[in-house]
Amino acid sequence: MPYTSPVADFQFLMDHVVNFTQIAKTDRFSEATSDMRDAIMTEAAKLCDEVVAPLQGAGDEQPAFLENGIVRTSPGFDAGYKAIAEGGWIGISASPENGGMGLPLTLATAVNEMLAGACLSLQLNPLMTQGQIEALEHHASDAIKDLYLPKLISGDWSGTMNLTEPQAGSDVGALASKAVPNEDGSYAISGQKIYISWGDNDFTENVCHLVLARLPDGVQGTKGISLFMVPKIIPNADGTLGERNSLRVVSLEHKMGLHGSPTAVMEYDGATGWLIGEKHGGMAAMFTMMNNARVGVATQGIGVAEAAYQHALAYAMDRKQGRAGGSGTIIEHADVRRMLATMKSEIFAARSIALANAVAIDMATATGDAAWDARAALLTPISKAFGTDIGVETAATGIQVHGGMGFIEETGAAQFARDVRVTTIYEGTNGIQAMDLVARKMMDNGDAAFALMDEIEAAAEAARSTLPDLVDPVWQASESLRETTEWLVTQDMDHRFAGAVPYLRAFARVLGAHFHLTAALSGDEARKRLATFYIKRLLPEHTALLAHVREGADDLLAITADDLAS
């Protein structure tokens, strides 16, 4: 089934829900008018629907493979990538000084979601490059910026992120890769990295690796880690390509999904690299890339959810079975209608949260206001975890809508579930996102969270005379979230972490209800019906989730390893 980019949904959200207009009113993004915004999204949608989406099946059925040390990519990926690069989509939010469009991240987020919905395996490549561009813009020397950024933004070169090692997964500080200074100011990088998305390809001139490694005087743990640019081919000062660097793809992982995206084991054997940022400050530089990627991965989950929903909806509107009324198709069955309504309303909630997150980042960038920075930081783990959880859940529900045919590969429903599953693990598992939310993001004693709840409750009060049946549940849910947050910030980390995942989910539930309520106020009856479904049927889950949070850690930690093994 063809994929159709949800441009109308993005336009509605930007106009009626997340207030994109405030971004265009800033000096930084004054050119991002609604007309330009709509033109950009329409053009991106054409690329996604006509060029990228047809590659979805080919990437799954004819995976990338390693041949004599060269990564051979799936059929059509070369042309698809070039279309993305030539359209300027890789540098959509990059600085114009180096050839980027300089547009708001909110707009880039919409475009990235459409690309992910069209073909996630291919979209991963430009997403990684976008994260590298941001890291270099913030942390690299002028010489590195001048040499690398124009090539990355144009798509002539691509970028990767090298963190994980066989013995150092989420515990990045346990890495063993080493960096030894060379006499010319460069460094010799040695070590092995695993799970490197798009570690190599056969369609860009160069692949630029950002690699975490430890200098000889680096202390153990994350405080002793530095970040280095290690290109596949060492560029000359004028940007032309010189000698091949001392690095190689050892193997490609055999994965559950995303077969079109080569995930490499990389080996660096005294490879030449250049320091990015300060010595021993690698984590700060890498987190710039990771935070960019976390919002990006949220959109990947939502994009696949959208594609899975479209696939399931088309099947339900065509498949005739049972004694359904009306059209006689299975969409007339109440349970199928329930599944589809859940999928659609969850996608709307997750998409709203991700776009609100991007708006906060844009406003922080444009204004320097610390309150916007705090809002962006708070929403990032929620966006990433909820967006990808919904991707996984929606893809699974899509299989269920298909019934037995969903388990048959030819229908394509299963590919969405296989491809999206890893997004809940990317860039810090969703459990780590939740721990970040209740720990680092609550170091302000919950001030940023309470400010957001204040807005939710004020918006609900303002709508009380218009939609009283929907307002009260949203207001009450926000109050319950507030009370639990007040309790949470007084607890030690064991108690916070024990309830971190249900807390994040409850927060997302309340945010989703707030955005659905805002959508219902637009006067669009279809939006009101969807909001009613979400607020009356899905929002009540927050009660059980918050009860889980308030139980703390004692009963959980009392369960022994023997209890679990018996």
Among 165-174, 478-487, 506-515, which is the least confidently predicted range?
Answer: 165-174
Model confidence pLDDT, tens digit, residues 484-531: 999 999 999 999 999 999 999 999 999 999 999 999 999 999 999 999
Of 2, 107, 6, nearest to 52 (Cα)? 2
pLDDT tens string 186-209? 999 999 999 999 999 999 999 999
Q: Which pLDDT value is given to residue 425?
A: 94
524 lies in a domain? yes
Q: Average pLDDT for residues 208-225, to the nearest whole number?
A: 92
User: What's the pLDDT at 174?
Assistant: 80
Count of other CB atoms within 10 angstroms of residue 349: 28
- Please tell me the predicted confidence (pLDDT) of residue 2: 82
The mean pLDDT of 422-432, rounded to a whole number, is: 94
* Total-model pTM: 0.96
Instruction: Report if residue 521 sits inside a domain.
Output: yes
Mean pLDDT on 205-219: 95
Residue 442 has pLDDT above 70, yes or no: yes
Contact criterion met (CB below 8 Å) for 232 and 198: no
Please state, for a pLDDT cut of 90, what percent of the chain lies above it: 91
Answer yes or no: are the C-beta atoms of 90 and 84 closer than 8 Å: yes
Terminal-residue alpha carbon distance, the chain: 47
Is the confidence at residue 438, as pLDDT, over 70? yes
Distances (CA, A) of 167 to 171, 200, 249, 300, 433: 9, 23, 19, 27, 21
- Residue 9 CB partners (closer than 8 Å, separation 6+): 348, 351
Q: What phi, psi does 73 have (nearest 5°)?
A: -90, 165
In angstroms, the CA 105 to CA 115 distance is: 15
Q: What mean pLDDT, rounded, does the chain reach? A: 95
Give the integer Cα–Cα distance in Å for 482 and 458.
Answer: 14
Please list, in sequence order, all residues whose beta carbon lies within 8 angstroms of the beta carbon of residue 316, skipping any fewer than 6 positions away.
Answer: 329, 330, 331, 336, 340, 401
| pLDDT(290) > 80 | no
Question: What is the extent of the structural domain holding 451?
Answer: 430-566
Query: What's the gap between Cα 143 and its chain centre?
Result: 30
**Across-strand partners of 228?**
211, 275
Residue at 555 is within a domain: yes
Instruction: Retrieve residue 87's tokens.
Output: 């359209």
Residue 167 pLDDT level (bands cut at 50, 70, 90): confident
Q: How does pLDDT run across 109-144, given as a tens digit for each residue? A: 999 999 999 999 999 999 999 999 999 999 999 999
Residues 263-278: pLDDT tens digits?
A: 999 999 999 999 999 9
396 in any annotated domain: no
At 1, is the pLDDT very low, low, confident or very high (cuts 50, 70, 90)?
low
Band of pLDDT at residue 402, cut at 50, 70 and 90: very high
Rounded CA gap, 306 and 292, in Å? 21
What band does 324 get if pLDDT is binned at 50, 70 and 90? Answer: low
Q: Which residues contact residue 352 at a Cβ distance below 8 angstroms, ignoring those fewer than 6 apart?
A: 13, 17, 18, 511, 512, 515, 516, 519
Per-residue pLDDT, 450: 98
Mean pLDDT calculated for residue range 7-26: 97
pLDDT of residue 159: 97
Give backbone dihedrals phi and psi of 265, rounded to 5 degrees, phi first: -95, 120
Q: Confidence band (pLDDT; 50, 70, 90) for 222?
A: confident
Residue 468 placed within a domain: yes
Q: In angstroms, rounded to a whole number, what is the distance separating the alpha carbons of residues 499 and 488?
A: 9
Report which of residues 172 and 234 the model is more confident about: 234
Check residue 279 and give its pLDDT.
93
Residues identified as active-site: 427
Rounded average pLDDT over 77-98: 96
Residue 174 belongs to some domain of the structure: no
Mean per-residue pLDDT for 533-557? Answer: 97
Q: What is the CA radius of gyration of the chain?
A: 24
For residue 506, which of 471, 482, 486, 532 has the smallest C-alpha distance?
482
Please state the domain count of the chain. 1
Antiparallel, parallel or unpaired: β 187-197 and 178-181: antiparallel
- Whether residue 351 lies inside any domain: the answer is no
Q: Is residue 459 part of a domain?
A: yes
Sole residue written with tokens 């696949």: 304
Residues sharing a CB contact under 8 Å with residue 357, sequence separation 6 or more, in sequence order: 295, 298, 376, 379, 380, 382, 383
The predicted structure's pLDDT at residue 322: 73
Q: How far apart are CA 436 and CA 426, in angstroms?
A: 15
Confidence of residue 287 (pLDDT cuts 50, 70, 90): confident
pLDDT band at 169 (very low <50, low <70, confident <90, very high): low
Residues pairing with 188 in the sheet: 180, 272
Is-contact 293 459, C-beta < 8 A? no
